[in-house]
Amino acid sequence: MDSYKNPLEERYSSAEMLYNFSPNNKFRNWRKLWIALAEIQKELGLNITDEQISELKANADNIDYRKAAEYEKKFRHDVMAHVHTYGDAAPAAKRIIHLGATSAFVGDNTDLIQMRDGLLLIRKQLVNVISGLSEFALKYKDFPTLGFTHYQPAQLTTVGKRATLWLQSLILDFEELEFFIETLRFRGVKGTTGTAASFLELFDGDYSKVKHLDRELSARFGFDKVFGVSGQTYDRKIDAKVLALLSNIAQSAHKFTNDLRLLQNLKEIEEPFEKDQIGSSAMAYKRNPMRSERIGSLAKFVMSLSSSSAMVAATQWFERTLDDSANKRLAIPQAFLAVDAILLIWNNIMNGIVVYEKRIQKHIMDELPFMATEYIIMEEVKAGGDRQEIHEIIRVHSMEASKKVKIEGKENDLIERILNDSSLKMDKEKFMEVLDPANFIGFAPVQTEEFIENEVRPILSKYSELIGLNADLKV
């Protein structure tokens, strides 16, 4: 307990995402890359033996981290530290490990593998949030609620239709994620400055063998797209793009939690609150929206990281410069871990979200009389009244009713005032029928159904095998 621990590891992120960015996964991928490089080089005619390949494979998971740390302290070079550590474990193959390669061969290719696999984990989390939101939207597609513009009461919508707004943001993020995964390129085998000069020597000038090595190795790691050109490293725009994508997901999550926190204050919708959960150390009655606040906090962190990778991409020099390294080690894994945590918490919220229908209905009826005034004016004109005179009558009643609510703290009595005004000719019974909130929600139910059917259902059908995950919180 005497040294700093990353909260993302201890408190928030899933075991799967933590493993994806773990030292074991990283350095095992380094060794898989070295093995694949040697295997393909042997197939292309280099003097590499079956014994050497077998020894490399037998020791692929035999990583002596203590020895690697000692070598790195000596060499001040992490890749060469692991080359020597691997060579000590596989002495017969020591001379051919990393043959013709540069540090970015293992470093950059592993980064791309971890990004891709991290995005696949993010996709699973996203699919489950989308599934939970879509079920919620359909369940409450017909249930009227007070709409807000400028956080002031506006025309009615439905609880389900509002959920489609959260969904729409996520669908945009999901489309961007899908495109990123589909178009992600592997660095492959490019050499020290991207010219493959070392492989020119190894293959006696046979460029076709270099291209085969590049394509074959990339395919073995699941990439059908490879950078056609590079410097020593892959284009750092990839880092900026993936951080922008993660930032977009964080923005959508933050928007959802802002709305939910406001609704929880109104006591209309509430995130889960467990039996023994404590809202405040001082105020025993409190039911703080800690899940939503945690998402908001993590989301701000992710959004801030996107500028970091953008600055790195903008300030790279020529074929490579090392001022990206420490930044990448921090920004990329932590952004993935934070978004993973955000989506896990979001799934947890959707698994236990509570809607207080009576409270929503009360808020509607506090405001609905004012919303009905336009209908009253139209009906009075149809019955032969003067539009301007009717408008003034309604205006006066509205101001008096508003005074009762705001100054005297009483119930809205606008409807009663209108019904008792003998100068108004409209059909009183018909007017009361019109005050059903369902008459003020427009096409919200059908819009919700169409959106789910046309834009959400295809995603859920395509990835149905991903639906269902453990969304329990660590703390």
Q: Which residue numbers are catalytic?
A: 150, 280
Question: What 3-state class would DSSP assign to 345?
Answer: helix
170 within 8 A of 129, measured Cβ to Cβ = yes
Question: Which helix (H) or strand (E) covers residue 431, if one does?
Answer: helix 428-434
In whole angstroms, how large is the CA radius of gyration of the chain?
A: 31
Q: How far is CA 256 from the centre of its chain?
A: 12
- Cβ contact 339:250 at 8 Å: yes
Residue 416's CB is within 10 A of a number of other CB atoms, namely: 13
DSSP state of 95: G
Provide CB contacts within 8 A for 158, sequence distance 6+: 140, 141, 142, 143, 144, 145, 441, 444, 445, 448
| Token pair in block for residue 298 | 């993590």
- DSSP secondary structure, 242-262, as one string: HHHHHHHHHHHHHHHHHHHHH
Ramachandran area for residue 72 (φ above 0: left; ψ -120 to 50: alpha; else beta): alpha
- Decide: 449 and 138 in contact? Cβ < 8 Å: yes
Q: Whole-angstrom Cα distance, residue 227 to residue 187?
A: 6
460: which 2 tokens? Answer: 């859920």
Helix and strand tally (H, E) in the chain? Answer: 20, 4
Token pair for 89: 């474990």
Amino acid identity for residue 42 in this structure: K
336: which 2 tokens?
Answer: 């993935």
Please give the Cα distance from 45 to 196 (Å, whole number): 17
> Which segments of 314-381 are extended strands (E)?
354-355
Amino acid at residue number 110 = T
The neighbour count for residue 384, using CB atoms within 10 Å, is 7
CA 2, 12, 221, 62 torsion-angle sign: positive
Q: Are 269 and 238 in contact (CB under 8 A)?
A: no
Beta-bridged to residue 153, according to DSSP, are: 148
- Residues 7 and 4: their CA atoms lie apart, in Å, by 9
